[in-house]
């Protein structure tokens, strides 16, 4: 009996049912009832109005996490298009900009000129969108700019001052206070200038500049323009600015001591959170054998000097960088053309500083 029943059940799978007029066919076992009606359909984390990858946050900002990952794409065209997309969809939430700068700033050293131009445009847009953003992330941006100024590829070196100009325009005081000495030193290396009159150092600078390709005439013009802007921002008070000490003195003569500083890192010269290497004994012995200190700075003192205040920056430039700068600028003025014109404007800034220092001594 059991075997006959099994055979009959197997035959049912291959028997075609006879359909009769007026009778509905039997529904299959896996039938799903779809007769219900719903007014709305809720799809979490999705949007029917926009394609995938454009989900919005609570503030209406586009989610850029996927596009930020594409900044490391192997194709330069993709990287350039991604930067343009990020610039067009900059968020309103300030907390997102840390991730944006972390992904974008390394592209300062990108070998594609189009990508570097897109980074310049994006950084300018970020600086306009969020005031004070570059001041907070100054350390990271400056390190990549210095790396670009000393890069082995001439094209990257030529574009390095484009990024420095953004910092000077939007965070000039922060750059001057924290990175004045290093920036001036990198300008000397970028323009193949020497800080000493040593013939060996001069020949080494010329040989290095020629071996690395040197700077084009157009690039040197822009380097001098940015150098002039940096000197003006570092050595002179900004126009229209109100001194905090003078403003606080209107209330009380000692009020400025108890006010919060406007600088992003006012205690950075104390090196509270950084590890510094001790000075070697040979350097200490050489400094001790120099005799009486006349109050002037030297190249050996630059590593231990803070450039937070204006007077110190002026004294550093006057004691260390003034004569070498004049010497190299005069050689550029002799070339004539736009290079000589911009070199003359840089020299005018130095002469203005020299005149003000002479008046202050009198």
Q: What is the pLDDT of residues 130-189, one digit of tens each?
A: 988 999 899 999 999 999 999 999 999 999 999 999 999 999 988 998 899 999 999 999
Q: Give CA 170 to chain center in angstroms.
A: 11
DSSP character for 309? S
pTM: 0.72
- Residues 60-65: contacts with CB within 8 Å, 24+ apart? 60/92, 61/89, 61/91, 61/92, 61/93, 61/96, 62/89, 62/91, 64/89, 64/91, 64/96, 64/99, 64/100, 65/99
Q: How far apart are CA 285 and CA 80, in angstroms?
A: 54
Tell which wins on pLDDT, 213 or 128.
128
Per-residue pLDDT band for 26 (boundaries 50, 70, 90) equals confident
Average pLDDT of the chain, as a whole number: 80
* HSE-up of residue 237 (Cα within 13 Å, Cβ side): 8
Element (H, E) at 155: helix 154-190
pLDDT at 214: 57
How does residue 290 score in pLDDT terms, banded at 50, 70 and 90? very low
| Maximum Cα–Cα distance across the chain | 127
Checking if the pLDDT of 239 tops 70, the result is: no
Choice among 26-35, 113-122, 266-275, 293-302 with the minimum mean pLDDT? 266-275
Q: For residue 275, give the 3-state DSSP assignment.
A: coil
Q: Which residues of 12-28 are buried (b: 16+ CB within 10 A; e: fewer)?
A: eeeeeeeeeeeeeeeee
Residue 29 has pLDDT above 50, yes or no: yes
Region of 83 (left: φ > 0; alpha: ψ -120 to 50; beta: rest) is: alpha
Any idea which fold 61-130 has? 1.25.10
Q: Break the chain into its structural domains and give their ranges.
A: 61-130, 153-239+296-362
Task: Give the tokens for residue 259.
Answer: 């006010």
* Residues 6+ away with beta carbon under 8 Å from 66: 53
């Amino acid at each position: 009996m059991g075997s006959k029943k099994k055979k009959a059940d197997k035959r049912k799978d291959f028997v075609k049912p006879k359909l009769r007029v007026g009778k509905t066919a039997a529904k299959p076992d896996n039938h799903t009832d779809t007769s219900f009606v719903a007014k709305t359909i809720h799809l979490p984390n999705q949007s029917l109005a926009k394609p995938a990858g454009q989900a919005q946050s609570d503030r209406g900002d586009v989610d850029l996490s996927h596009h930020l990952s594409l900044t490391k794409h192997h194709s330069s065209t993709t990287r350039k298009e991604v930067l343009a997309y990020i610039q067009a969809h900059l968020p309103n939430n300030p907390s997102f900009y840390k991730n944006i700068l972390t992904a974008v700033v390394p592209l300062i050293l990108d070998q594609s000129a189009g990508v570097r131009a897109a980074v310049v445009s994006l950084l300018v847009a970020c600086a306009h969108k969020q005031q004070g953003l570059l001041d907070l992330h100054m350390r990271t941006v400056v390190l990549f700019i210095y790396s670009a100024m000393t890069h082995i590829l001439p094209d990257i070196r030529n574009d390095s001052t484009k990024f420095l100009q953004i910092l000077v325009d939007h965070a000039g005081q922060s750059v001057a206070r924290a990175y004045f000495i290093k920036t001036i030193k990198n300008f000397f290396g970028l323009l193949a200038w020497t800080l000493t009159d040593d013939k060996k150092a001069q020949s080494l600078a010329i040989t290095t500049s020629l071996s690395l390709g040197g700077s084009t005439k157009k690039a040197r013009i822009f380097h001098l323009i940015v150098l002039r802007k940096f000197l003006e921002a570092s050595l002179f008070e900004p126009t229209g600015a109100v001194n905090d000490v003078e403003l606080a003195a209107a209330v009380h003569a000692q009020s400025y001591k108890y006010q919060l500083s406007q600088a992003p890192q006012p205690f950075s010269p104390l090196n509270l959170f950084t590890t510094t290497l001790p000075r070697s004994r040979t350097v200490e012995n050489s400094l001790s054998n120099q005799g009486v200190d006349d109050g002037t700075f030297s190249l050996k003192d630059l590593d231990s000097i803070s450039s937070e205040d204006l007077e110190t920056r002026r004294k550093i430039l006057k004691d260390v960088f003034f004569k070498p700068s004049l010497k190299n600028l005069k050689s550029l003025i002799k070339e004539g053309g736009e290079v000589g014109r911009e070199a003359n404007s840089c020299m005018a800034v130095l002469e203005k500083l020299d005149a003000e220092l002479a008046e202050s001594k009198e």
